[in-house]
Amino acid sequence: MYILLPLLLLFQLPPMIIFDFTPDADLTNWRTVDDTVMGGVSEGSFGLSEDGHGLYTGHVSLDNNGGFSSLRYRMPGTRIDGFTKAVIRLKGDGRAYQFRTKTNEDHRHSYVYNFQTSGEWEEVEIELRAMKPQWRGRRLDREDYPAEVLSEVAILIGNKQEEDFRLELDWIRLE
């Protein structure tokens, strides 16, 4: 037992960068999906700030039964065995958001973790296996995120209220 612990520490995986926002970052695989897909009128936009951070801004409207905006990053399905948490360095606006993952881009459901921003630069840590399966805001009777394959990460705002939002992203990684 005494020998096993140092050996486990020796084989700890280095962080896996999912995305690092820099002034020359390629945002091709990022897109916003708003409640307009269901008849709503919310609007989100995404680009790079002058400092090279990802800048996600917009307005969530409750008109026409709307109420959400999301930012999604798709990637080829990637094995993530051995990683236990996602960490996002961000600066929010004091509002609540969701971090969402998918194991397959064709799945309708996502695995969700809710977090509150402070208005300052911070690192949000998310235990991957504690993420809950949801579809259209409803909890599903399925196992929690298995943390084996990752094909999409997303950030969603949908607090059941009309509001403007602003979220800056520095990086997203797995540890």
Helix (H) or strand (E) holding 5: helix 4-10
pLDDT tens track for 61-114: 999 999 999 999 999 999 999 999 999 999 999 999 999 999 988 899 999 999
Contacts 24+ apart (CB under 8 A), 142-148: 142/109, 144/111, 145/101, 145/103, 145/111, 146/103, 147/80, 147/81, 147/83, 147/84, 148/79, 148/80, 148/81, 148/103
Residue 1 included in any domain:
no
Report which of residues 30 and 6 the model is more confident about. 30
Give the pLDDT of residue 58. Answer: 98
Residue 145 included in any domain:
yes
pLDDT tens track for 150-172: 999 999 999 999 999 999 999 99
Residue 76 included in any domain:
yes
- Per-residue pLDDT, averaged over 128-132, amounts to 97
The fraction of the chain above a pLDDT of 70, given in percent, is 94
Residue 2 included in any domain:
no
Q: List the CATH number of the domain containing 90.
A: 2.60.120.430
- Number of domains into which the chain is organized: 1
Confidence of residue 2 (pLDDT cuts 50, 70, 90): very low
Give the pLDDT of residue 105. Answer: 86
Residue 65 included in any domain:
yes
Residue 129 included in any domain:
yes
Residue 1 scores a pLDDT above 50: no
Give the pLDDT of residue 137. Answer: 82
Residue 116 included in any domain:
yes
Report which of residues 110 and 3 the model is more confident about. 110
Domain that holds residue 69: 14-174
Residue 47 included in any domain:
yes
